[in-house]
Amino acid sequence: MSELSQADALERAEAAAAAARDAADTALEAANAAQGYVDQLAAGAVDIAAHAAGSGGLIEPFVFLFSVFVMAIFVGYYVVWSVTPALHTPLMAVTNAISSVIVVGALLAVGVDLTSGDGAVMARVFGFLALVLASVNIFGGFLVTSRMLAMYKKKQR
């Protein structure tokens, strides 16, 4: 392998620096173009959402919310059933924590002043229903958790 002269090395370094500068400029142009494209997509999504939320929207709010609910059911089903048995106890603890937040919200709904309007009675009814169902979920979760933890205890003779 022959050694380069100092002039040749300097010339090659300058050429490499120029190529790197060109590559950086090209990357900057591509990033700016991509940012513009993302901005256009975001603006289009906002326009679609605003149009759908309006009175003459493409999607009724009930249909939109119901489809989100149905997707949440499927996602929840596949998430829970893909959990290994060793993680079921921590999963139950997390669902108990989520249900406790629901209990707080249900207590707030039950405590709505009845003189505040037409929806107050419905808020109290649904709040009470949410309170009962979340309480059943919490206590059932504690029972299942204690039963699963009992499986890991050594048997006494």
Q: What is the DSSP letter of 57?
A: -
pLDDT at 151: 78
Check whether residue 68 and residue 104 sit in a common domain: no
- Whether residues 39 and 99 fall in one domain: no
pLDDT digits (tens, 9 = 90+) for 38-97: 677 677 766 766 666 665 556 778 888 888 889 988 887 887 777 777 676 677 777 777
Distance CA 53, CA 59 (A): 8
Please report whether residue 46 resides in a domain.
yes
Residue at a domain's end among 50, 82, 114: 82
46, 97: one domain: no
In-domain check, residue 6: yes
Predicted confidence at residue 1, as pLDDT, reads 47
Domain extent at residue 31? 1-82
Which of 64, 82, 100 is the last residue in one of the domains? 82
For residues 66 and 3, membership in a common domain is answered with yes
**CA dist., res. 31 & res. 38, Å (int):** 10
Identify whether residues 10 and 68 lie together within a single domain: yes
The answer to the question of residue 65 being in a domain is yes
Residue 101 lies in a domain: yes
**How many domains in the chain?**
2
Whether residues 5 and 74 share a domain: the answer is yes
Confidence of residue 12 (pLDDT cuts 50, 70, 90): confident
Is 104 a member of any domain?
A: yes
Q: Is residue 142 part of a domain?
A: yes
Residue 139 covered by a domain: yes
Identify whether 141 is part of a domain.
Answer: yes
Check whether residue 65 and residue 94 sit in a common domain. Answer: no
- Among residues 82, 109, 132, the one where a domain terminates is 82
- pLDDT band of residue 141 (cuts 50, 70, 90) is confident
The string of pLDDT tens digits covering residues 102-129 is 888 888 888 877 666 677 778 888 888 9
- Say if residues 96 and 134 touch (Cβ distance below 8 Å): no
For 146-155, the CB contacts below 8 A with 24+ separation are 148/88, 148/89, 148/92, 149/89
Q: How far is CA 97 from the centre of its chain?
A: 17
Asked if 26 and 63 sit in the same domain, the reply is yes
CA distances from 116 to 34, 59, 119, 127 (A): 51, 32, 8, 16
On whether both 116 and 70 belong to a single domain, the answer is: no
